[in-house]
Structure 1
Amino acid sequence: MPSDSGDLGSLREQLRDREAGKLYRQRLMLDSSQAKQVSLAGQEYLAFCSNDYLGLANHPALIAAVCEGALRYGVGAGASHLISGHSTAHHELEEALARFTGYPRALLFSTGYMANAGVVMALAGRHDAIFADKLNHASLNDAALVSRATFKRYPHLDLTTLERQLAASRAKRKLVISDAVFSMDGDIAPATNLLALCEKYGAWLMLDDAHGFGVLGAQGRGTLAHLGIKSPRIIYMATLGKAAGVFGAFVAAQPEVIETLIQHARSYIYTTASPPLLAHALMKSLDLVESEEWRRKKLIQLIVALKQALQPLRWKLMPSDTPIQPLIVGDNDKALQLSESLRERGILVPAIRPPTVPQGASRLRISLSSAHDMEDVARLGAVLRELDVAS
């Protein structure tokens, strides 16, 4: 019987190399619910590491809605959407999301990763071309690679290069894909200009608004509302486990696009539908996102306060007006040390390293939530200034 020790030895060597390069990842295990104050191994920490931008993940109204949904729909969906797993809760949420985003139709997916995979692989294939910002989320890149379409990447926000690529392409179908808010830099894509290029060269524009939905635009309607643009060429994806505080994702687009996804998106067709109780809870979440404008106003105030508090540091924040505030450290080792020093002082801020970010661009990714207070931001600023002086 052949031994697998050689294969295991190869894996061990890869893991050792990752650890030696200060790139080894480890999971935190919370004892508490998701909130600004979390518990790890019985110790309390002030957390700046969640995408719960509006502080809804532990909202009493959503907890009550989950309980109500469980009593009405049970726990599991039992089947895929195309068999018997599509409930009235899913249908009502899709209709509500379409109204909320201003699109004719919306389609629920279990995760943002699956939504991106579904759209890209359903709309682009062997004779097509995909054009992508180099800082796009991994899910968009993975989907483009699997699609078998020609895959062109352009430097971050470099629309001159993108136009040159679009003009040279003879592909049957062209699809431009981009984060709307970039998850590690926190900057906003120039979607108005991206749309103009797509209209000029006959391309679709797919925007991943995982980090803009609920946060940007009037009533939290997202980056498109923030920029004041709308077009049948745009395919809009957003997630429901960040600002919305629950779980899942959706795609909003023209009816023909949604029907194409129902027929051809493999990550939609071949998976069990998400629990309908979550869709039921998300109806309440949408109400809170739309009605509680104070949460977004507070976020803006916190962002301004954080920038002022960290201005004296040798490490500099990237230019971001979103709750994602990356503090560039550069060196992997130093970023890890800084994150650990914060943790020793009761503050959680993750160190983000390659391959998630480019080499030499390791950082602390500070995530703000409307659950935070000014005192929390002041505490983080004071500790970072102390560490800056001490290092």
Structure 2
Amino acid sequence: MTTSRTAPPSVDRLAPWAFAEFVEANTHDTAYRPPVVDGPVGPTIVQGGRELVNFASISFLDLERHIPVRRHFAEGAHAHGLSTSGSRMTQGICRPHQVLEETIARRTGKERAISFATGLLANIGFVTAMSSSAHFDTGIEVRNHDTVFIADRDVHWSVWKGLEGLGYGRNVHAFRHNDAADLARILNRLQTGENRKIVVIAESIYSADGTMGPIVEILDACDRYGAISMIDDANGFMVYGPENRPYAREATAIRERADFVMVSLSKAIGLEGGAIAGPAAAIDAFELLSGTSMFTAAIQPPTAYAAERTIEALAVQPAIVDDYLAHAARLREQIHASGTATTPTDSYMLSVPIGNDAAALQMREWFVEDGYLVPVFSYPAVTRNQALLRLFPHAGHTEEQMDGFLRTLVAYRRRLGM
């Protein structure tokens, strides 16, 4: 007996999508065909058998020096297994998820939190829940299709993906990056003569350039016009807050005044996952309305177990983050001393403007040749020919590694006539 097999789609049938032309036109194929990494990622990384000094790691605190994260993960796996084996709605949540969500709620100053497999899913789920219209049964319904969102134009792709299709210019508006006055102008126009459901979305620390949002002014505008606020604190969670650190005023405002907060577990916590924290009734409703919690698996139980312990360890050992912020500040000062400008911000993310996209991509390739992995943000991640190097200093970087990077950066700038 023979069985027929469906042949894969031919190249000709895929021709209208122009994938082949897109790939062929890309002269920097590492941007689209990522290299394979061997071993753990840290202050260095092994790609293609070569060890590179790593300025790309978003897990930057070198936590294994201070916190037995791998042991916690193993304990969580032994006690709770490797998988949730189902969605929150079909089986419930594992005990580590409950404890993690209670911890996140407490650390963000909110009533309740709901976790997601990634921060991206948290953002998409938030927008979906806040704009949902659904009828489950008599009296069990929401009708929020009229929600209006106003987002900083530079918020993360996941927010814009969630907003996609909601009607730009009608239910979706953007204000100029970090411009609270422009936000107030839009709020004033939208509020005139109407009692509308309005949600303002901004970030604490922006991934592309490390700029820090004017959170107090944004929340003032929300209060003045009766808008709900959601702050994406993916890059600031467990980093900012204490008075001795930069951004303390804004971090306090996020905790005390923001209606909702999104946190990521892949930055300071060094794991994977995200969460939305906010009012208890809304978070409970998100279980059904977000979609990205109901229709997919949650964070792995050992990840949730290890994340909760890491959050608590960072809270009781502030020197871990204090030392890191001082380490990042020293690198910024050294970059400035070399005659190189950075984006004006006090965050730990260092962005070096390059400008020309082709020059920035060339620098990236040179860096790899000389033993450094340095991320480049070029179009479409940023405006065309506004490319920049986006650096994450790592707590495990040695002075020798940072000095070598600085010498290399200065040499490249001279080579390009910058």
- TM-score normalized with structure 2 length: 0.86
Deviation at 1:160, TM superposition (A): 2.0
* Residue in structure 1 matched with residue 19 of structure 2 by the alignment: 11
The answer to whether the 8 Å contact 2:216/2:250 transfers is no
AA in 1 matched with 2:341: K
**Identity across aligned pairs (percent)?**
25
Deviation at 1:302, TM superposition (A): 2.3
Q: Indicate how the Cα distance of structure 1 residues 284 and 220 shifts in structure 2: closer, same or farther if over 3 A, else same.
A: farther
Structure 1, residues 311-337: CA drift from partner, whole Å, max 9, x if none?
255652111212211111111111111
Q: Does 1:91 align with 2:98?
A: yes
* Larger displacement relative to structure 2 (220-229 or 209-218): 220-229
Q: For 1:308 and 1:274, locate their aligned partners in 2 and report how far apart those are by CA, in whole Å.
A: 38
* Residue in structure 2 matched with residue 216 of structure 1 by the alignment: 240
* Residue in structure 2 matched with residue 129 of structure 1 by the alignment: 148
Deviation at 1:41, TM superposition (A): 2.1
Structure 1, residues 132-167: CA drift from partner, whole Å, max 9, x if none?
111111011111124457110111112222111111
Q: For 2:415 and 2:374, locate their aligned partners in 1 and report how far apart those are by CA, in whole Å.
A: 18
SS at match of 1:316: coil
The answer to whether the 8 Å contact 1:93/1:282 transfers is yes
Q: For 2:201 and 2:351, locate their aligned partners in 1 and report how far apart those are by CA, in whole Å.
A: 23
* Larger displacement relative to structure 2 (336-345 or 21-30): 21-30
AA in 1 matched with 2:377: I
Q: Indicate how the Cα distance of structure 1 residues 136 and 183 shifts in structure 2: closer, same or farther if over 3 A, else same.
A: same
Q: Does 1:154 align with 2:178?
A: no
Q: For 1:263 and 1:276, locate their aligned partners in 2 and report how far apart those are by CA, in whole Å.
A: 21
Q: Indicate how the Cα distance of structure 1 residues 130 and 249 shifts in structure 2: closer, same or farther if over 3 A, else same.
A: same
Q: For 2:310 and 2:297, locate their aligned partners in 1 and report how far apart those are by CA, in whole Å.
A: 23
The answer to whether the 8 Å contact 2:35/2:48 transfers is no
Q: For 1:72 and 1:265, locate their aligned partners in 2 and report how far apart those are by CA, in whole Å.
A: 29
Structure 1, residues 234-292: CA drift from partner, whole Å, max 9, x if none?
20001001110111011111112211211311111111122111111112211222123
SS at match of 2:406: helix
* Residue in structure 2 matched with residue 173 of structure 1 by the alignment: 197
Which of these residues, 119, 126, 131, is aligned with residue 119 of structure 1? 126
Q: Indicate how the Cα distance of structure 1 residues 84 and 45 shifts in structure 2: closer, same or farther if over 3 A, else same.
A: same
SS at match of 2:414: helix
Q: For 1:121 and 1:57, locate their aligned partners in 2 and report how far apart those are by CA, in whole Å.
A: 36
Structure 1, residues 320-368: CA drift from partner, whole Å, max 9, x if none?
2122111111111111111111111111111111111111211111111
Deviation at 1:39, TM superposition (A): 1.3
Q: For 1:331 and 1:94, locate their aligned partners in 2 and report how far apart those are by CA, in whole Å.
A: 44
* Residue in structure 1 matched with residue 134 of structure 2 by the alignment: none
Q: For 1:221 and 1:368, locate their aligned partners in 2 and report how far apart those are by CA, in whole Å.
A: 17
AA in 2 matched with 1:282: A
Deviation at 1:375, TM superposition (A): 3.1
Q: Indicate how the Cα distance of structure 1 residues 220 and 241 shifts in structure 2: closer, same or farther if over 3 A, else same.
A: farther
* Residue in structure 2 matched with residue 109 of structure 1 by the alignment: 116
Unaligned runs of 5+ residues in structure 1 are none
* Residue in structure 1 matched with residue 384 of structure 2 by the alignment: 359
* Larger displacement relative to structure 2 (304-313 or 43-52): 304-313
Q: Indicate how the Cα distance of structure 1 residues 219 and 285 shifts in structure 2: closer, same or farther if over 3 A, else same.
A: farther
The answer to whether the 8 Å contact 2:188/2:225 transfers is yes
AA in 2 matched with 1:290: A
Task: Look at both structures and tell me which one has the larger radius of gyration over its CA atoms.
Answer: 2
Q: Does 1:332 align with 2:357?
A: yes
Q: For 1:341 and 1:23, locate their aligned partners in 2 and report how far apart those are by CA, in whole Å.
A: 13
Q: For 1:30 and 1:222, locate their aligned partners in 2 and report how far apart those are by CA, in whole Å.
A: 34
SS at match of 1:335: helix
Root-mean-square deviation (Å): 2.6
The answer to whether the 8 Å contact 1:232/1:254 transfers is no
Q: Indicate how the Cα distance of structure 1 residues 232 and 220 shifts in structure 2: closer, same or farther if over 3 A, else same.
A: same
* Larger displacement relative to structure 2 (31-40 or 283-292): 283-292
Unaligned runs of 5+ residues in structure 2 are 1-6, 132-143
Q: Does 1:144 align with 2:168?
A: no
Q: For 1:270 and 1:357, locate their aligned partners in 2 and report how far apart those are by CA, in whole Å.
A: 32
* Residue in structure 1 matched with residue 277 of structure 2 by the alignment: 252
Matched residues, number = 390
* Residue in structure 1 matched with residue 295 of structure 2 by the alignment: 270
